[in-house]
Structure 1
């Protein structure tokens, strides 16, 4: 690892300390920072420094349970808007945000890039949940209501889940001990990592997130996977 790369990673650590942002891990060419959000409780961003470029990647949400065509269409439409970050999916359909800059510009642009990643992940999370996981959320809401459990983790969706359109209301009771909880913020088992850009060296990042109302995040790898730009 060159001194220059060490200096870049040290600059990222300094940014994290100044902004009171946790650093999850540090490797020779990568550092992972955890950004707190509102709708999505946290977004882990892996920052990897290669020979010529620096890459940022953040896991957003796992592949949808339903409405995959509408789900991916939404992502494609968002990618039409100009900005420093873009959505990508891996071979299983799990969703990431990615950005790349020349390595010498990373520290100058770091604040703006991380801010854009956090804002995009946070603002998109609930919309993607409604498109790709609505049935699961209906079931979880009905289960919680039927057992007298708190619905706090789904409070943002109360208008959608508590009305007559929720066909699962009244189908759960105290005897249903196993929760049908939605875990959309967990990477799939065997989820693919982003493939290293051509001509660069070093491992590609694959951060995970934390589920709103749950702590079910985990890291996973797949040697055959490639992160596909939508």
Structure 2
């Protein structure tokens, strides 16, 4: 099957499944890129890059950025999750950011297979998101919570992590927070808006 035929079949399948997508230039390589977003609950959206070539479609989805801490715990979790995933697996890029990647052969590409693979991407990225934050960004979550309490700001978007907070150690509302803290630099700030990084081409 030619690359053009693979792209046509991919776009036809996405359209039949009523999945919105956009095209992206392959940058001169013998590939075509299709980008789509899967809505979630814990993670507002998961951006998926589908790279079509004559051999089939490569699937790549950004899950979260490089953990701040507990790398061994995060990677152990990802490796154990890989045993139960269909069509995709967890990996990291050159900077340590976490992705899901997989491939669909040209012969297997169709509505059922694409639906299964994208369903698995969403189940993993959305379902594992808070666990990955708890494992790899615990200090940031606790710091963000304390900062919001000290400023009297809403905790609504952090309530999923309430069990991680030592409330007796929190500052009083309006009290200064010890040490330097810059809002927007923590992973929790990104989590509440679910801002995704563009998928890498590694």
- RMSD of equivalent CA atoms: 2.7
The corresponding residue for 1:196 is: none
Distance in 2 between the 1:80 and 1:133 partners? 24
Structure 1 stretches of 4+ moved >3 Å: 24-28, 171-178, 215-222
Structure with the higher fraction of residues in helix conformation:
2
> Match of 1:212, SS?
helix
**Among 196, 202, 214, which residue is 2:193 paired with?**
214
Partner deviation per Cα, 1:25-77 (whole Å, 9 max, x = no partner): 44461101100000011001111111212111100011110001111111111
User: TM-score scaled by structure 1?
Assistant: 0.73
Contact 1:59–1:96 (Cα < 8 Å) also in 2? yes
Cα gap change, 1:56 to 1:160, in 2 (>3 Å): same
> Match of 1:170, SS?
coil
Contact 1:89–1:95 (Cα < 8 Å) also in 2? yes
User: TM-score scaled by structure 2?
Assistant: 0.82
Cα gap change, 1:149 to 1:184, in 2 (>3 Å): closer
Match runs of 1:173-184 below 5 Å:
173=174, 178-179=182-183, 182-183=186-187
Partner deviation per Cα, 1:178-215 (whole Å, 9 max, x = no partner): 42652369xxxxxxxxxxxxxxxxxxxxxxxxx33236
The unaligned stretches of length 5 or more in structure 2 are 27-31
The unaligned stretches of length 5 or more in structure 1 are 186-210
Distance in 2 between the 1:68 and 1:171 partners? 32
Q: Please state if 1:46 is matched with 2:49.
A: yes
Q: Please state if 1:74 is matched with 2:77.
A: yes
The corresponding residue for 1:131 is: 135
The corresponding residue for 1:191 is: none
Distance in 2 between the 1:147 and 1:113 partners? 43
Distance in 1 between the 2:35 and 2:6 partners? 15
| Number of aligned positions between the proteins | 192
> Match of 2:123, SS?
helix
The alpha carbon displacement at 1:158 in A equals 1.4
Q: Please state if 1:111 is matched with 2:83.
A: no
Contact 1:88–1:96 (Cα < 8 Å) also in 2? yes
**Among 101, 104, 107, which residue is 1:98 paired with?**
101
Distance in 1 between the 2:200 and 2:38 partners? 22
Contact 2:86–2:117 (Cα < 8 Å) also in 1? no
The corresponding residue for 1:144 is: 148
Q: Please state if 1:65 is matched with 2:68.
A: yes
The alpha carbon displacement at 1:172 in A equals 7.8
The alpha carbon displacement at 1:162 in A equals 5.1
Cα gap change, 1:49 to 1:97, in 2 (>3 Å): same
